[in-house]
Amino acid sequence: MVGQRFLEAFAERGGHAPAWRITVLAEEPRPAYDRVHLTSWFSGTSADELSLWEPEFGDKHGIDLRLGDPAAAVDREARTVTSRTGQVFPYDALVLATGSYPFVPPVPGHDAPGCFVYRTIEDLEAIRAAAEHARVGAVVGGGLLGLEAAGALRAMGLETHVVEFAPRLMALQVDDGGGAVLREKIQELGVTVHTGAGTQSVETAADGTVTGMVLSDGATVDTDLVVFSAGVRPRDQLARDCGLPVGERGGITVDAHCRTEDPAVWAIGECALAVDGRVYGLVAPGYAMAEAVAAQLTGQQGEFTGADLSTKLKLLGVDVASFGDAHGATADSLEVLYANSREGVYKKLVIGADGALLGGVLVGDTESYDLLRPLALSGAPLTAPPEQLVLPASIGAAPGPVALPDEAVVCSCHNVTKGAIRSAVADTGCADVPAVKKCTRAGTGCGSCVKLLTTLVNDELASQGVELSRGLCAHFDLTRAEIYEIVRVRGITTFARLIEEHGTPGSGASEGCEICKPVVGSVLASLGPALGDGVSGHILDGEQAALQDTNDHFLANLQRNGSYSVVPRIPGGEVTPAGLITIGEIARDFGLYTKITGGQRIDMFGASVDQLPLIWRRLVDAGFESGHAYGKSLRTVKSCVGQTWCRYGVQDSVALAIELELRYRGLRAPHKLKSAVSGCARECAEAQSKDFGVIATSSGWNLYVGGNGGMTPRHADLLLTDADHATLIRTIDRFLMFYIRTADRLERTAPWVERMEGGLDHLRAVLVDDSLGICADLDDLMSRHVSAYEDEWRATLDDPDRLARFVSFVNAPGTPDPTIRFVPEREQIRPADTLVAGPALEVRTLA
């Protein structure tokens, strides 16, 4: 990452062809990628998505990238580098960005086939392959990377242990109090933590496979897989071999300009021993070194004399942060503590004698990190009592970002100050966060500053007189959540009344728009049973029909050629042979294209509007109902075969998946909902990428929420462990209703959970501990939904008024739409391309 940042900074300053000829010798088989987010690879982020190398970057700047051919020797006198394949490259300037390598304790058995390190994508591929045949995994090292590795093992379904030689986890970042809270929260997730114990040996069987570990305190850990994450060491061998000075504990010695003893050689990143005697293992200092050297090589000034070591992470779902002088090493410093063991929250601030914030530790709640870190780095005395900075919002009102001075660093990855952000808005004309990101690079590194960045941008825009609307559209100066509460509390049953009483004055359109009408329609549909007889739960009744978008308007998905798809519900993916035959016969008779989806359903494409009721009638008569593929509602609950058939299954996943899908069918929400149930930790149903997913354990069920496998993949968070059936169902009920009640328009559960104040801990408090006192209301709303559900297809077929809308031409019922045309492909049909000549297939209409 640091080498890549050097290339970018060098190119930005004019250091590219023809003035320079740049050669990059890389050991790995792929260009630079994002190691900060490496663990996201386990939750579906691809290597291409992690890549930092733009496809045209090398050609654009004349960079010769040699993959899999690292530097093997440096001849400083001749100023040449010899690669591993024997090629020799001359240089005028040599930049060493060789990084570090994982330290593996030289204990017996450390090189057994079941032992791994956690450093590269190839390492992760090997770990995942081994995990498929393992039951227990152990991580040696309880630092940042060690806990990430433990999270990965846990997510793959392994019983997980963490072994840390220090007396607490993350010893460099947190103190004893924070370490105790962190340990407790991680153990609550089912990870066994061993602190104050080293690894004495890795035990192996006769065939070399790992069978366990022996610890220094005499304890043993039965494990099939070991991941070493016990720290890193600078990769300084090239420097040693060519006679460059290195530190006593490693690291290439450099001065304030990152230059070695040889004026033609620089070292940056984890391989360098900085002028302050420290080897920096974080990306932000490495970037600062890279930019300093890039500046010098292009005739500018650049220095590196030290860096901020603040960190903010989510480890195994636990928020952890530290900043500044976190351990109170400064003389005459004082501490301000807030600890809440019930909530699993620990906060400590270190205050200097002059009243300045020096540093701190946050565990369980890191919401204030974005404000506290810049305050600590600024060195200015606090303008508010320090206890207000750690107390919950209900107790003390903390100062906001306005309290930060302009010189406060907001983005430590790219050293962007608050003043630079304000200038990007006020002077450069950036009108939103993406524009400021592009202009300043703020928020494009680890991403931990994005929330503060957004606040600062919006504040600056407001100060410039730019009005920031939080409303749904021009017709409602209200959010979706506010509209939901107004409809629920006031018992409003029509859009007309809602816009009359709560619409934006002077908006000029009493009929609403394409934004607010579907939103209000969804709210009315989701609250229909709770609002009483004044509103029908069916979305095609009365005024409701006019509020729907095209898909909901016809209870089917509109395709690109004007035809529709029909998707019957197949709960849990379970279907009888007779059901399959019915679907096949319908598809054959109506000439439809059939596709088995990833959600364990069968989609039938190519139906015209007037065919829809005819198709539904045959499906309904065969016992099928609407799969709601057209609605912002529950789509599917995917399932593996579970213990009924699978030799690894520990619970009946199919039965639970069917129960969940039938319970939540037709539930209208801000966005579509997807779910899955896996019968064991092998996770064949991919439950951890769903809005809510369930994984069986030997003692019950684990519930994951807020996952998303779509455009912006997100790994779901573990909300419950080993829950019994009743607790599981009750918690899912509340989760869904709380989401429907508070989410924004078209907001999936993943971003909803991410933006939630207090995060997963707050969500757990609301749904399990009833911290807001609304659980009874949520339970009642779900109960009303379940009891009032009716199949929208069947209800439409039984109502002549509803059926009247299903015609291609109002003035010529039964006439097929001549614009809908198909062509044959792979013994089925597909929409005809208007650019392709040739005969097309007409739509069939069956009586």
Mean pLDDT of 806-811: 62
pLDDT over 50 (residue 738): yes
Mean of per-residue pLDDT scores for the chain: 86
pLDDT higher than threshold 90 for residue 284: no
Q: 1: which 2 tokens?
A: 């990452």
The label of the residue with tokens 């090292």 reads 141
Q: What is the pLDDT of residue 702?
A: 96
Domain at 2-101+234-297: CATH architecture: 3-Layer(bba) Sandwich (3.50)
The pLDDT, as a whole number, for residue 259 is 96
Backbone angles phi, psi at 607, to 5 degrees: -85, 145
Confidence of residue 545 (pLDDT cuts 50, 70, 90): low
Token pair belonging to 68: 């899999």
Portion of the chain with pLDDT greater than 90, in percent? 49
Give mean pLDDT, residues 41-60: 87
Task: Provide the pLDDT confidence category of residue 435 given band limits of 50, 70 and 90.
Answer: confident
Using DSSP, state whether 261 is helix, strand or coil. coil
Provide the pLDDT confidence category of residue 343 given band limits of 50, 70 and 90: confident
Which range among 110-119, 500-509, 536-545 shows the weakest confidence by mean pLDDT?
A: 536-545
The two beta strands, 272-273 and 334-340, are unpaired
Has residue 396 got a pLDDT over 70? Answer: no
How do residues 813-845 score in pLDDT, each as one tens digit?
A: 566 666 677 888 888 888 876 434 444 444 443
**In this predicted structure, what is the pLDDT of residue 433?**
76
Contacts of residue 120, defined as CB under 8 A and 6 or more positions apart, other chains included, come to: 28
- Please answer whether residues 476 and 483 qualify as being in contact, where contact means their C-beta atoms are separated by less than 8 angstroms: yes
Bigger pLDDT: 262 vs 711: 262
- Digit-coded pLDDT (tens) for 102-128: 999 999 999 999 999 999 999 999 999
| Burial (CB count within 10 angstroms: exposed 0-12, middle 13-18, buried 19+), residue 115 | buried
Distance of CA 723 to the CA centre of its chain: 24
User: What are the distances in angstroms from CA 224 to CA 31, 122, 189?
Assistant: 32, 20, 20
CA distance 355 to 371: 16
What number does CATH give the domain 308-399? 3.30.390.30
User: Given this model, what pLDDT does residue 819 score?
Assistant: 65
Q: What pLDDT does 847 receive?
A: 35
The residue extents of the domains of the chain are 2-101+234-297, 104-230, 308-399, 400-468, 480-548, 637-790
pLDDT band at 746; cut points 50, 70, 90: confident
Q: Is the pLDDT of residue 383 over 80?
A: no
Residues 757-786: what's their mean pLDDT?
A: 90
**SS3 assignment, position 620:** helix
User: pLDDT tens digits for 293-318?
Assistant: 999 999 999 999 888 788 887 777 78
Q: Is the pLDDT of residue 12 over 80?
A: yes
Mean pLDDT on 5-25: 90
CB 227, CB 100: distance < 8 Å: no
**Within this chain, domains 400-468 and 637-790 share the same CATH topology:** no
Q: Is the pLDDT of residue 1 over 90?
A: yes
CATH of 104-230 given 3.60.130.10, 3.40.50.880, 2.40.30.10, 3.50.50.60: 3.50.50.60
CA dist., res. 444 & res. 462, Å (int): 24
Task: Return the number of other C-beta atoms located less than 10 Å from residue 385's C-beta.
Answer: 13
pLDDT, residue 213, reads 95
* 679: pLDDT strictly greater than 80: yes
Residue with the two structure tokens 């570090």: 100
Model confidence at 531: pLDDT above 80: no
Given pLDDT bands bounded at 50, 70 and 90, which one contains residue 246? Answer: very high
Spell out the alpha helix ranges (H) of 718-790: 725-742, 749-755, 759-767, 775-788
- CATH code at 637-790: 3.30.413.10
Residue 697 burial class via C-beta count within 10 angstroms: exposed 0-12, middle 13-18, buried 19 and up: middle
If DSSP codes are grouped into helix, strand and coil, which group holds residue 637? strand
Give the confidence band of 401 by pLDDT, cuts at 50, 70, 90: low
- Residue 817: its pLDDT value, please? 65
- At residue 468 the predicted structure's pLDDT band, cuts being 50, 70 and 90, is low
pLDDT at 269 over 90: yes
Question: What's the mean pLDDT in 256-274?
Answer: 96
* pLDDT for the residue 222: 94
Cis ω for the linkage preceding 18 (within 30 of 0): yes
Q: Look at 76 and 449; give whichever has higher pLDDT.
A: 76
pLDDT of residue 653: 95
Asked whether 308 and 409 are in contact (CB, 8 A), the reply is yes
Ranking 75-79, 228-232, 494-498, 582-586 by mean pLDDT, the lowest is: 494-498
Taking the complete model, does pTM exceed 0.75, yes or no? no
Higher per-residue pLDDT: 21 or 815? 21
The amino acid occupying position 686 is: E
Where does 400-468 sit in CATH, by number? Answer: 1.10.10.1100
Q: Per-residue pLDDT averaged across 171-179, rounded?
A: 88
Contact 327, 349 (CB under 8 A): no
* Res 145 pLDDT > 50: yes
Q: What is the pLDDT of residue 843?
A: 41
